[in-house]
Structure 1
Amino acid sequence: MPLPVIIDVEASGFGNGSYPIEVGYFTPDGNSYCSLIQPEPGWTHWDPSAEQVHGISREVLLAKGRPGVEVCLDLNTALRGQTIYCDAWAYDYVWLSKLYDAVELFPTYHLKDLRELLAECEQSLWHGLRSEVEKRLALRRHRASGDARTIFETYNEARKRCKPDWIV
């Protein structure tokens, strides 16, 4: 199976009223995409604990975020017809749906949970490998595209370590 495209979403918080503030992906050929998203009218929830995780202030988001319709069109163009994976499907699906609903568009790609690809061996190695990958990559900011790359590299490393000896 070919390596997957990984997507990640940063959000204003973790509960009711939260919304996407940044989306990023990483592809097997090393390409990445990342964009801040302007909050839609009515998207006012802001959780300071989430801001401490992603490091994006609401002020930066309002000043540098791109309109949601542009972000959705970017994603639809780049990811059309593909199956894309994320590591927090229950959250990422909701946040991407909220974004697409707000701009009255539909994704042209399919979003799936990365756990669907993980065998038992890969699952057992996941947390330790992720820590190793985070140290190796030494990304200085917790951002969507960086997280997508970390998830991708962790998956790739787990897959290599769990590959049966008879597969060349």
Structure 2
Amino acid sequence: MDKTQEDAAQPPAIIDLEASGFGRGSYPIEVGFALEDRQVHSFLIRPAQSWTHWSEEAEKIHGISRAQLQEHGLNPREIALKMNELLAGKTLYSDAWSFDSSWIGRLFDEAELIQRFRIETVNKLLNEAQMEAWHDTKQHLWDELNVGRHRAANDVKVLQETFLRVTQS
């Protein structure tokens, strides 16, 4: 495999977050990212004391309870430090950029740290035909892989594979 083929087979770093809800006042409760080498990291986030918003509808979707976050989550500063250590200088891509970048901003604000990586929309890497194929390809992969949705670690794996399929077809 030559260098060009090797680069084409390597997916971009992908990030995904789950949150306490969908609207104003929502905050991140889980972050996952898959690096270019497909290594996946995922962390539950213990809510800061001032983070009180909670949506039962969102909990039904992601299946993460407040009790799980209290018991197994790390505090926002611990996660922000880990993310900066693992992601410094990188650009990660999201298929829900406006939500994910907002929730990462909230995490780093709470941690009182400067974010040392960037988040961009995955659309910047895709042409029009690839963007049109994105949703159906992702849906097909969910069915094919039969893994739980709306958990950050699973989502980033599916998003990376979606990227590879739409860009290599």
Shared topology, TM-score over 0.5? yes
1:56 and 2:64 correspond: yes
**Paired residue for 2:160?**
152
Match of 2:139 among 124, 131, 135: 131
Q: How big is the alpha-carbon RMSD for the aligned residues of Structure 1 and Structure 2?
A: 1.2
Q: How does 1:1-168 map to 2 (within 5 A)?
A: 3-161=11-169
Give the whole-Å Cα distance in 2 for the aligned partners of 1:91 and 1:140: 21
Give % identity.
40
Runs of 4+ in 1 over 6 A off after TM superposition: none
**Paired residue for 2:3?**
none
CA contact 1:55–1:141 (8 Å) conserved in 2: no
CA contact 1:7–1:145 (8 Å) conserved in 2: no
- Shift of residue 42 of structure 1? 1.1
Task: Please state whether the residue corresponding to 1:9 is helix, strand or coil.
Answer: strand
CA contact 2:148–2:154 (8 Å) conserved in 1: no
Where do 5+ consecutive residues of structure 2 fail to align? Answer: 1-6
118-127 or 132-141, which deviates more: 132-141
What is the TM-score of this pair, normalised by structure 2? 0.91
Q: For 1:144, give the aligned amino acid.
A: A
Q: For 1:32, give the aligned amino acid.
A: V
- Shift of residue 30 of structure 1? 2.0
Give the whole-Å Cα distance in 2 for the aligned partners of 1:134 and 1:48: 24
CA contact 1:84–1:109 (8 Å) conserved in 2: yes
- Shift of residue 52 of structure 1? 0.9
130-139 or 69-78, which deviates more: 130-139
Where do 5+ consecutive residues of structure 1 fail to align? Answer: 162-168
Give the whole-Å Cα distance in 2 for the aligned partners of 1:97 and 1:124: 29
